[in-house]
Amino acid sequence: MKPILRLIFLVTLSVVLGGCYTVPETGRSSFILPVDDVGQGAAAFAEIKAKEKISRDPAANERVRRIGLRIAQVVGQDLPGAAWEFVVFDAPDTVNAFALPGGKVGVYTGLLNLASSDDEVAIVIGHEIAHVTARHGAERMSQGILVAAGGLVLDHQTQGRKNHDLLLAGYGLLSTGGMLAFSRSHESEADYIGIRYAARAGFDPRAAVTFWQKMEKQSSGGRLPVFLSTHPSHDRRIGDLQRWMPEVLPIYQAAKRQ
């Protein structure tokens, strides 16, 4: 079998074996190829722990674990079989956090220093866990595989044509733009799901607005145009969060009453 035919066969087989995944909280359907994202997440987390400096601050570790476990409890079956693990990394200049498939969550001390309340920390942890429950990583990986395969097929089919290079360049620009748009939509979806998780766990979702206002003040000038960015603009993000407040505040108030 010719290499290009083998590629087409493998991609077709992957598409057949892949399936639709329904994102919790939003109900959006996404197409995901067969991917062992839990195994990859556990391996990646072990590698990060081996390379990064882990904080030995008991107060920071207790804070993150306490907040994280409250959110994990409301996530429940949105992430079945999760082996939850919360680790604080000692990096005061890194205002970041992440979550990986299987319930692996990392928070950097720079974020803890910026977040003035547990509510703000919960918003970020909820957002990162939302990426995992929505399987955004597996979805982007699936998209990347299909885009790469499409490029190889186009390259093969247009070999020898006068406009071969132009077609490939056009395909590259369109696919890159599409992937960036998907990434921005994933960030917005994680914002929405994340504030719902935080609210359900009894954390004030209004902290999402104050946190991103801090992030906007802290960010330096010269940001990329939105269409070239993997994230929505701060203004768009804050506006969306404010628009969702009437929906999520009753969830928070109900959780507080319980």
Question: Position of tokens 């197409």?
Answer: 31
**128: annotated active-site residue:** yes
CA distance 244 to 222: 29
Quick one: DSSP state of residue 32? E
How many degrees, rounded to 5, is the angle at CA 190 between CA 127 and CA 125?
5
The residues near 248 (Cβ < 8 Å, ≥ 6 apart) are 195, 196, 199, 205
CA distances from 105 to 35, 132, 207 (A): 20, 10, 20
Catalytic residue among 25, 62, 85, 128: 128
The residues near 123 (Cβ < 8 Å, ≥ 6 apart) are 194, 195, 198, 203, 205, 207, 208, 211
Question: Is residue 153 helix, strand or coil?
Answer: helix
- Using DSSP bridges, classify how beta strands 85-89 and 29-32 pair: parallel, antiparallel or unpaired: unpaired
Q: Take residue 11 and report the two structure tokens written for it.
A: 């991609």
Active site residues: 128
